[in-house]
Structure 1
Amino acid sequence: MIRRFLSIFEPFILMLLGTVVLASLLPARGQAATIVGYVADVAIFLLFFLHGAKLSRAAIWDGLRNWPLHLAVLGVTFVAFPALGLGLTALPFVDARMATGVLFLTLLPSTVQSSIAFTAIARGNVAAAVCSASFSNLLGILITPALVALLMRNAGNAGAMSIESVETIIVQLLVPFVAGHVLRPWIGAWVTRRKAMLTIVDRGSILLVVYGAFGAAVVEGLWSRVSLGDLLLIGLLSCALLAIVLALTLTIARLMRLPREDAIVLLFCGSKKSLASGVPMAGVLFPAAQVGVILLPLMLFHQIQLIACAVIARRYADRADARVEAMAPVA
């Protein structure tokens, strides 16, 4: 029974939960917290450098050819999602602490790995998914901080950007990404061959930021301010948000008369929010003591979207297989 329950969680989610537990029991304090922060900053710099080196320019140019699909994905990601976030955070029973995290979640770019993986499982247009997810993450480096500055300031939330925040984003996120992409002709093939290294840097940087963020929040009294009821509410809001967006992407696909393969891309790329981008961005945009609370909605939504989209992708695959079998000539 326990093994079956744990099987619905990917190993990285269990590592995240373990990191939260460790930060709750043994948070970094004083000089140790400073060291953790410096190490996390270096890991984030390296992460964006490697992602820049991995992004193919051919993928960028190829993606421009299917611009209506990519504009639809970007519209759902950076327009519809934030609008829904503003609506959810305006509900009277959502307090300011949770509202900041829920709204931040809706401002993030799409995922890359899981969007492509689920598109492939569902027999969708994988090449288009690669382009859409890459565009979303590339533009998210600029769009997400801008949306945070615009929407969170107007909503009266903490996290409105200062000049120092803008400088940090440029130095810690944009500069390494551009540097990696510029150096791609020399190091791109080397980076591509070392997927394990990229995975370690990717997940290691997230775990470091989560440990530092939750540790700082625990020192400030996180678990005395967040109750089980708050966590349940975040889970329900995440489920409602995902259900609305999934229905919206399907509706847009019908209105645009997209082929089945492209509709699958819109469904999976448009409905995702990136934990890999969200964690380091939160560390840059918000005070350390607030990051732990702000990341709670993102962590819950991430797991919910993986479970739901895994089920949906498998159903699409079953339908595609049944269609192929029905069209096969009878021997």
Structure 2
Amino acid sequence: MKFNGFIAALLFAILLAWFLPNGPEVLPLKTITDIGIGFIFFFYGLKLSPTEFKAGFSNYKVHIIIQLTTFLIFPMLVLGFTPFFEGGTSSQLWLALFFLGALPSTVSSSIVMVSLAKGDIPTAIFNASLSGLIGIIATPVWMSLFMASSSDFEFGAVIQKLLIQIILPLAIGLFLQKYLGTLARKNSTKISFFDKSVIVLIVYASFSSAFSSELFTKVGLADLLKLSVLVTVLFFTIYFGLGLVSRWINFSTEDEITAKFCGTKKSLVHGSVMVKVIFGNSAANALYLLPIMLYHILQLLVIAIFAEGYRKREMENG
């Protein structure tokens, strides 16, 4: 397994937030991260290649399975976890886990892993891109079902933020895509570094607020272990469930790989952005980020191992 600088940066940000919970006051982190979110989706629109998007369009059975899994099966499974939480759906820990379940799939790592495992890359590109677009609306709508009465959630304010911080920059990026799209895709590594830098800042700001307000004094080791176990159960239930469904529908090996790899992924980028958009600068933001960070590390490690297994099998058969 290669060293993952992004995960290391996230862990360092949490450690720094613990030692410096008030942060460098000379930096207006809220303004920086708000602007950064806009640029993340502006670049997302620029990089969305119409050619690649169209190439995977026709494989509709795989698309339906992946999108249903991402936006319906995941949340429904998390609903089944409510008996494990005191307070049920009103528990902050359960809401944090449900937030994970309501998120869209990740783009870059889905495509990279599908490519490594010799899956259907055009289908992976289409689904990862479509998932990101659907998630802009689906994630807040899912959360509104359980947080409508919460002071942390005001649906009108969330929609306004969505329009200004996400949909408008995305629309501008899509409009300029035919002029600047090629340039953006050539510089995708630099753009990815920018995206991750904004996420690290959001994580730092969220955990700084959590440590300042002593949020984690209310979360015991037993709660963290429970969260870790449920996140792991969620991942493997979806992964092996998609394998069974893929074989039942008689998917090719390439389509099965794509369904399993794209259908299990959840986006830390979208999660970090949505935390800011939905909950603003709430001290509970760090709590909402915990499950997706645990899941992100798990999905990278496990999918990388499975992808390598598929790649070796392909080489042996070839």
Class of the TM-score when normalised by the shorter of the 2 chains: over 0.9
One-letter identity of the residue aligned with 2:13: T
Alignment of 1:1-331 (within 5 A): 10-28=4-22, 35-92=28-85, 96-150=91-145, 152-153=146-147, 159-287=152-280, 288-324=282-318
Closer, same or farther: CA 285–163 of 1 in aligned 2, 3 Å: same
Structure 1-normalised TM-score?
A: 0.90
Q: Within 1, Cα distance between the matches of 2:59 and 2:166?
A: 27
Amino acid at match of 2:294: L
| 1:327 paired residue number | none
**Distance in 1 (alpha carbons) for counterparts of 2:50 and 2:20:** 44
Structure 2 segments unaligned to the other structure (5+ residues): none
CA drift at 1:98: 1.3
CA distance, structure 2, for counterparts of residue 202 and residue 316 of structure 1:
30
- The separation in 2 between residues aligned to 1:301 and 1:102, in whole angstroms, is 10
Equivalent residues of 2:268, 2:293 under 8 A apart: yes
Separation in 2, partners of 1:181, 1:249? 32
Q: 1:157 Cα shift?
A: 6.4
Gaps of 5+ in 1: 1-6, 325-331
Moved beyond 3 Å, runs of 4+: 28-33, 92-95, 156-161
SS at match of 2:84: coil
Distance 1:158 1:67, change over 3 A: farther
- The 3-state SS of whatever aligns with 2:140 is helix
Which residue identity lines up with residue 162 of structure 2 in the other structure?
I
Distance in 2 of aligned mates of 1:128 and 1:226: 41
Count of paired positions: 315
Shift of 1:31: 5.8
After superposition, the C-alpha distances for 1:6-53 in whole angstroms (9 at most, x for unaligned) are x566211111000011111112369657x1011000111111100110
Superposition deviation, residue 60 in structure 1: 3.0
Q: 1:30 to 1:201 in 2, by over 3 A?
A: closer
Cα pair 2:85 2:94 within 8 Å, conserved = no
- State the shift of 1:158 in Å: 6.6
Q: Distance in 1 between matches of 2:293 and 2:15?
A: 14
Distance 2:26 2:82 in 1: 35
CA contact (8 A) 1:8 1:307 kept: no
Distance 2:150 2:82 in 1: 11
Say what the alpha-carbon RMSD is for the aligned residues.
1.9
Q: What one-letter code is carried by the residue in structure 2 that aligns with 1:87?
A: G
Name the amino acid aligned to 2:235.
L
Question: How much does 1:255 deviate?
Answer: 2.0
By how many angstroms is 1:293 displaced?
0.8
Asked if the contact 1:44–1:205 (Cα under 8 Å) also holds between the matched residues in 2, the reply is yes
3-state DSSP of counterpart to 1:136: helix
User: Is the alpha carbon distance of 1:227 and 1:8 closer, same or farther for their aligned partners in structure 2, counting shifts above 3 Å?
Assistant: farther
